[in-house]
Amino acid sequence: MTIDPIMDEIMAGGLLLTRGDRAGARLELEAVWSRISANAQPIHEVTLSHTLADAQDDPAHELAWDLRALHAAQRCTDADAQRHSQVTTIAAFLPSLHANLAEDYLKLGDLPRARDHFESARGFTDRLGDDAYGHMIRGGLERLAIQLEATAG
C-alpha cells in the first residue's frame, strides 16, 4: 500500500466521528468530498461516502451516502483497494455496506429493503477475515438480526 493523503484525510474525519464529533466529522468529510468529487477514485468514494453516511443526522441523507458508497464499490477493483487501503479485496467492504443500507432502510420504515440488504450482507460474510474488523461486522449483523426480528413481530 502506498501513502495516500486523501485516505489519511478520510480516516481523520472518521476519527472525529468515533470521538463523538459528528458535526466536525461531517464538515471535514464534506470538505474532502468537495475537493475530490469530480475525479474521485472509486476506493476514495467508497470510504468517504461510507464514513460520511455515519455523520448524517437525517436518515434519508445517510441512505443517500450509503447508496453512493455501494455504487462506488461496484466500480472499484481489488487492485484499487489494495493500493489505497489495508483491505485485500473490495468484497471485504460489502458486508458492512449492505448492513448499513439495511439499517438505513429500517430507520426509514422500509422493512422489505432492510431485509434484502441484511441478506446481502450475510451473503458476503465469508469475505470477512477472522480479525477485529470481521468480528465487528459479524457482531453488527447479529444485532441487526435482532432488530429486524423485533420489527417483524
pLDDT tens track for 45-77: 999 999 999 999 999 999 999 999 999 999 999
pLDDT confidence of residue 135: 93
pLDDT confidence of residue 110: 96
Residue type, 120: S
Residue 153 confidence class, pLDDT cut points 50, 70, 90: low
Mean pLDDT of 13-36: 96
pTM to 2 decimal places: 0.91
Residues 6+ apart with CB under 8 A from 60: 108
Q: Which helix (H) or strand (E) segment is 78 a member of? A: helix 78-84
Fold classification of 89-153 (topology level):
Methane Monooxygenase Hydroxylase; Chain G, domain 1 (1.20.58)
pLDDT confidence of residue 129: 85
Domain extent listing, the chain: 1-77, 89-153
Q: What is the pLDDT of residues 100-117, one digit of tens each?
A: 999 999 999 999 999 999
Q: Does the pLDDT of residue 2 top 70, yes or no? A: no
**If you count them, how many residues does the chain have?**
153
User: CA–CA distance from 99 to each of 87, 125, 130 (Å)?
Assistant: 18, 11, 18
Q: What are phi and psi of 57, to 5 degrees?
A: -90, -30
Q: What angle do CA 58, 26, 74 make, to 5 degrees?
A: 80
